[in-house]
Structure 1
Amino acid sequence: MTFDPSTILAGLTQAAPTHQAPGSRYADTPTAQRTLPDGTVIVHLRRRMLPRPEDQPLVGYLRVTEGDRVDRLAADVTGDPTRFWRIADANLVMHPDELVAEPGSAIRVTGGEPGA
Structure 2
Amino acid sequence: MAGGPGRYDDAEVAVATVRDADGTERQVRYLRQPQSAPPTAVPTGRTLASHRVVAGDRLDTVTARYLGDPLAYWQVADANLVFALDDLVGPAPEGLVLEIPTPGV
Q: Which TM bucket (shorter chain)?
A: 0.5 to 0.7
Q: Which residue of 2 aligns with 1:88?
A: 77
Q: Which residue of 2 aligns with 1:53?
A: 41
Task: State the distance in 2 between where 1:112 and 1:75 align.
Answer: 12
Tell me which of the two structures has the higher relative contact order, counting C-alpha pairs closer than 8 angstroms and 6 or more residues apart.
2
Shift in Å, 1:47: 2.6
Q: Which is strand-richer, 1 or 2?
A: 2
Q: Which has the larger radius of gyration?
A: 1
Task: State the distance in 2 between where 1:63 and 1:44 align.
Answer: 32
Q: Which residue of 2 aligns with 1:26?
A: 8
Q: Which residue of 1 aligns with 2:101?
A: 110
Alignment of 1:72 onto 2:61 = yes
Contact 1:70 1:96 in 2 (8 A): yes
Q: Which is helix-richer, 1 or 2?
A: 1
> What is the TM-score of this pair, normalised by structure 1?
0.56
Q: Which residue of 2 aligns with 1:3?
A: none
**Count of aligned positions:** 83
Contact 2:67 2:103 in 1 (8 A): no
1:105 to 1:45, Cα distance in 2 relative to 1, 3 A? closer
Letter of the aligned partner of 1:55 in structure 2? P
SS state of the match for residue 55, structure 1?
coil
1:82 to 1:50, Cα distance in 2 relative to 1, 3 A? farther
Shift in Å, 1:52: 2.6
The root-mean-square deviation of aligned C-alpha atoms, in Å, is: 3.0
Shift in Å, 1:23: 6.8
Shift in Å, 1:90: 0.5
- Which structure 1 segments of 5+ residues have no match? 1-21, 34-42
The Cα offsets for residues 70-104 of structure 1, whole Å up to 9 and x where unpaired, read as 01111112111111000000011011121113212
Task: State the distance in 2 between where 1:85 and 1:92 align.
Answer: 10
- Which structure 2 segments of 5+ residues have no match? 15-30
